[in-house]
Amino acid sequence: MVNYSAYPVKDRAALDKALSVRRRVFIDEQHVPEDLEIDEFDKEQSLAKHFIVADEQQEVCAAARFRPYEEDTAKIERVAVLAECRGKGLGRIIMDAIENEARLMGFRYVKLNAQISAQIFYERLGYTAQGDTFMDAGIEHIAMKKKL
């Protein structure tokens, strides 16, 4: 059995690996335009904290980021797991790591905009839907929130 661990991104090489995962999932697989996927929070010195999930050989299989949103709320964004790595619990691993880091930073809530296809996954992690669905990058989403 392969063991996976989540790590905070600490250098440009790790950020490039996170962006590579996101490119494969969002740009290549889901056809999100690159100018919508890669933004100001993907710079090394941005307010966002990026995380990756890797196996024992340091092959990166998942990525996500979070950033301050409101005084007591962090926003989780760009949660991506490579197609060949899905079904192994990596989404839960990266979400747990981000939620723990957000809690340590003093946030009381986390929010995210889930693709409708992932809504049940987030509900299983304790998130509740907020409001109506909306379109983002041509994909139906719903806002969700969780108390830490």
Contacts made by residues 11-20, CB under 8 angstroms, sequence distance 24+: 12/44, 14/50, 14/52, 15/42, 15/44, 15/50, 17/52, 17/60, 17/63, 18/50, 18/51, 18/52, 18/60, 18/63, 18/65, 19/63, 20/60
| Secondary element (H or E) of residue 3 | none
Task: Write down the pTM of the prediction.
Answer: 0.94
Pairwise CA distance, residues 54 & 88, whole Å: 12
Task: Say which CATH number the domain at 75 has.
Answer: 3.40.630.30
In degrees, rounded to 5, the angle at the alpha carbon of residue 78 between the alpha carbons of residues 77 and 79 is: 100
Which residue range is the domain that position 86 belongs to?
Answer: 4-147
**pLDDT truncated to tens, each residue of the chain (148 aa)?**
789 999 999 999 999 999 999 999 999 999 999 988 999 999 877 889 999 999 998 899 999 999 999 999 999 999 999 999 999 999 999 999 999 999 999 999 999 999 999 999 999 999 999 999 999 999 999 999 999 9
* Domains of the chain: total: 1
